[in-house]
Structure 1
Amino acid sequence: MNNLIKNIEFSKILNLKDLISYQEGQVISRTLAQIPHANITLFSLDKGEGISTHVTAGDAMVQILDGAAEITIGDEVFNVKAGETIIMPSNVPHGLEAVERFKMLLTVIKG
Structure 2
Amino acid sequence: MDSVFTIEQLRPIKDGMTISRDAKLGTKTSVTYFSLAKETSISQECYDMTSVYIGASGTADFLIGEHPKKQPLTGGDLLIVPAGTLCGVETASGSIYTEIIMKKENLMNSMIKSGEVMKLKDLISYEEGSISNLDVVGNDSMKFVLMAFDEGTGLTPHRAPGNAIIFALEGSATIGYEGTDYTISAGENFRFDKNGLHSVTANGRFKMALLLVLE
Which position in structure 2 is the counterpart of 1:64?
168
TM-score (norm 2): 0.49
Partner residue in 1 for 2:209:
105
Q: Is 1:21 the equivalent of 2:131?
A: no
Matched, 1:44 2:148: yes
Runs of 4+, deviation exceeding 4 Å: none
The aligned amino acid for 1:10 is S
Alignment partner of 2:175: what SS?
Answer: strand
- Indicate the percent of aligned positions where both proteins have the same amino acid: 31
CA positional deviation for 1:14: 0.8
In structure 1, the residue matched to 2:108 is: 5
User: Is 1:93 matched with 2:93?
Assistant: no
Amino acid at match of 1:31: D
> 2-side partners of 1:18 and 1:94: how far apart?
26
1:6-43 CA-partner distances (Å, limit 9, x unpaired) = 24111222111000111110100100123111011001
Task: Supply the distance in 1 between the matched residues of 2:163 and 2:176 (Cα, whole angstroms).
Answer: 14
Tell which deviates more after alignment, 70-79 or 2-11: 2-11
- Give the structure 1 partner of residue 11 of structure 2: none
TM-superposed CA distance for 1:3, in Å, is 5.4
Q: Which of residues 170, 186, 195 is equivalent to 1:82?
A: 186
CA distance in 1, matches of 2:118, 2:131: 22
Question: 1:60 deviation in Å?
Answer: 1.4
The code of the aligned residue for 1:65 comes to L
State how far apart, in whole Å, the 2-side matches of 1:5 and 1:46 are.
25
Q: Which has the higher contact order (CA 8 A, sep 6+)?
A: 1
Structure 1: unaligned runs, 5 residues or longer: none
> Aligned-pair distance for 1:4?
3.5
C-alpha separation between the residues in 2 aligned to 1:64 and 1:94? 15
| Shift, 1:5, TM fit | 2.7
* Count of residues in correspondence between the two structures: 111
1:81, distance to aligned residue in structure 2 (A): 0.3
Q: Which has the larger radius of gyration?
A: 2
Q: Provide Cα deviations, 1:83-103, integer angstroms capped at 9, x if missing partner.
A: 000001111111111011111
When the two chains are superposed, the root-mean-square deviation of aligned CA atoms in Å is 1.6
